[in-house]
Each structure stands twice: as C-alpha cells, then as structure tokens.
Structure 1
Amino acid sequence: MICPLANFEDVYKTDHGAVYQCSRQNCYWLEFAGSTTAFKVSDFFSFKKKIDAIDISAMIIDSSRTADFTIVMPYRTSRCFVLDINDVLNLRELLNGAKFMITLNSVVQTCLKGTPCRVA
C-alpha cells in the first residue's frame, strides 16, 4: 500500500517496471511484476546486490526443474520475488539504471553546490 502523503519522483523506468524515490519517507519504491515494494535506502542497495549475485549461467545450464526459477526475499519487506531468467535480467536492467541515475544525481548535486566534482 502506498502512503497518500508520499512525494514520488521518478528515478528510472523501463518497459518492465520503475523505481521511484520518496523524499518524504526517505525510501525507494520498486514497481515490478505487477506489484510495488518499498525499500529503505540501504535495503534497496542490498536487494540490488542480491539480484546481481544470481548466477544466470548456472540457471541456464542446470536441467533440473528447480533451476528454472530463483526466490529472493528482500530485507524488511513482505514481498517474495519468484524470478525466472527473463525476470532476473529485466530486474537487473531496472536496478542498474536506477543506481546509475541515483549516482548521477548525487554527482550533479555535488557539482552544483560548488565543491570540486570528481567522477569515479
């Protein structure tokens, strides 16, 4: 359930989902596979690391039925993600784009404040 007082700003969108930032609640909202999940900032980046750590090649090579899907349960959420290979790839694309935009925004804000701007 989304708070009616929340103030959402688009971070990144693809055909498969979107990431929004809520400045009022200091969190990120992930819209993916037909539902929306709220993440604290640190939990969002931990979730991204979990998704990045999924071994796609092992899922492809393994012929057992259980290798067709992976289950990811993010910290402090009531959501459970059951992902097939396409879902993992689509979610990675979404999360990578969101992380890039978050980092870019941080660099731009630093530069606008007049402090020396270094891009890593």
Structure 2
Amino acid sequence: MPTPPQLQELFRTVYGAVYQCNRYNCYFVEFAGGISPFKVRDFLDLKHHVDAINVEAMLKDPSRASDVHVLMPYRSERCFVLSLTDVLHFQELLQGAKAMLSLNSILHECLYAPVAY
C-alpha cells in the first residue's frame, strides 16, 4: 500500500502495519485486508483487548467456538474475526507498534529535555 505523505509507518510485519497520522492525531491499523483509523486512546484500548485474548484457552478448548475470537473495537466501524494465528499476528503487530511509540517518546525526551547547567 503506498502511504500518503502525512502517514508515517510505525511498525510493519508480514501480516500488517501501523501508521501514525500527525494531521489527524490518530493511528491507522492495516490488518486482515483492511485499514482502520484509531484515535490514540482507542488504539491503546485495542492493544489492551487484543493482549487480553487468552490464547492458551483457545488452544485447550476443543469446541469449534474457541477457534475464533470476534473483536469489535470502540468507536470503529471494523469488526475483527480472528483465528488463533490471526490473534498471534495481531498481538505481534500491536506490540511492535507500541514499542516504537515508547521508543519515540524516549528519544523525544532525550533530544528535547532541558539541559541543566
């Protein structure tokens, strides 16, 4: 996907990408064949909900209902129907994006912190 100039790629895997849009102060999540915008708080909530999916329970439960997890993020038109492998890939993508956000914050603090004399 070609990215417009206002989008900066935060993190990418083979299965998706997360872009930052400073113009609208939001993140765009590209995953499972679609792109969805999320405000900062909603993106962090999405990550929290994806991390909270109990992968071990999905593995151990023999019922067919445990084969998928349906996730409907707040204030989003998108609904994610995730298989076990999708959950793992989504967790990896969002964890990597969050790590890059933390790294950006640390770098910004180091570069722009007031210098004490």
Deviations 1:27-85 (Å, cap 9, x if unpaired)?
00000011000000000000000000000011011111100000000000000000011
Report how far residue 24 of structure 1 moved.
0.1
CA distance in 2, matches of 1:115, 1:80: 44
Report how far residue 114 of structure 1 moved.
2.8
Residue of structure 1 in register with 2:60 after alignment: 61
Residue of structure 1 in register with 2:43 after alignment: 44
Question: Normalising to structure 2: TM-score of the pair?
Answer: 0.92
In the TM superposition, 1:96-111 aligns within 5 A as 96-111=95-110
Deviations 1:83-119 (Å, cap 9, x if unpaired)?
0110000000000000000000011011001348xxx
Residue 92 of structure 1 aligns to which amino acid in structure 2?
Q
Residue of structure 2 in register with 1:18 after alignment: 17
Gaps of 5+ in 1: none
* CA RMSD across the alignment: 1.3
Residue 16 of structure 2 aligns to which amino acid in structure 1?
G
Residue of structure 2 in register with 1:30 after alignment: 29
CA distance in 2, matches of 1:115, 1:18: 34
CA distance in 2, matches of 1:98, 1:114: 24
Residue 61 of structure 1 aligns to which amino acid in structure 2?
K
Question: Normalising to structure 1: TM-score of the pair?
Answer: 0.90
CA distance in 2, matches of 1:59, 1:93: 17
Give identity over the alignment, percent.
Answer: 49
Residue 49 of structure 1 aligns to which amino acid in structure 2?
H
How many correspondences in the alignment? 112
Residue 103 of structure 1 aligns to which amino acid in structure 2?
S
